Structure 1
């Protein structure tokens, strides 16, 4: 079953953000766009490149009203230690959520049970708490923050403009489509 258009499940977790330990829950997401960015583990190889890419683009996400939550099955303590020792991870200003029990990873169906690690899963959640975008990558394949930004802008556009859809490679300001009987077979 697809998670698209499903409501996120309730959760509460410890996290690290801006030099402090905080609590995060599903209720914190209400009314805003959010990204859950799952990755296998702290102190690894592809993960810091992805997290740094998100950090480098975090201001752009904030400009369009999106909050980022990176999530792994490590603890919030490990997130802090990694943040303090890695130049790439040290750039992070968004929330790093600890999921040592795997609850959040299970909720989003990305937990690799036998390994106790999360797949590389990206989930865009709308202000109503519904999942609008799902992307799962193999462990060796890193993601691109600029492509994620493009997809979120498309999802936000569609949410704000009922009856319109964004075609392939759509970028902000470009023409959209209005599905209709007249359009069938013309594209």
Structure 2
């Protein structure tokens, strides 16, 4: 088994300030050679981007995570009930999320214990991170609360949750918690 010394490894984001020289915009990748502990007679190359924020450059970045209530399945009755329970001071908002899954054969969430992660980011960096599970299982039961598996082929799933009022929404990030979406 080969191991790499941490002094020679490069992280995914380049936090080292040793190489502060003018960078060529035509070559966005930095190449560095390193030696393995086990002498093999060859040098290996690692490629990494120069940017501190590789994948998020030019995108909204969340700076503060705000609390929100647990996700509920959206029905007409639940929206009216949730809306009437909001405080009158205007500090809370009701968020309604509608997600559609493709109708292509095999489109569904592969891991039934997984879910979809949703992050809403406003212009000030305030954000709400919410997990929408594929099934809403109650604490003392093995059955789903609503009897429905969400994010299945051709389904349209509606969810609601309460959270603090955000400013102008700058970005919405959606990702899988685990598993894969076919």
TM-score under structure 2 normalisation? 0.24
Normalized per residue, the structure richer in helix is: 1
State which structure, 1 or 2, has the greater radius of gyration over its C-alpha atoms: 2
TM-score under structure 1 normalisation? 0.24
Normalized per residue, the structure richer in strand is: 2
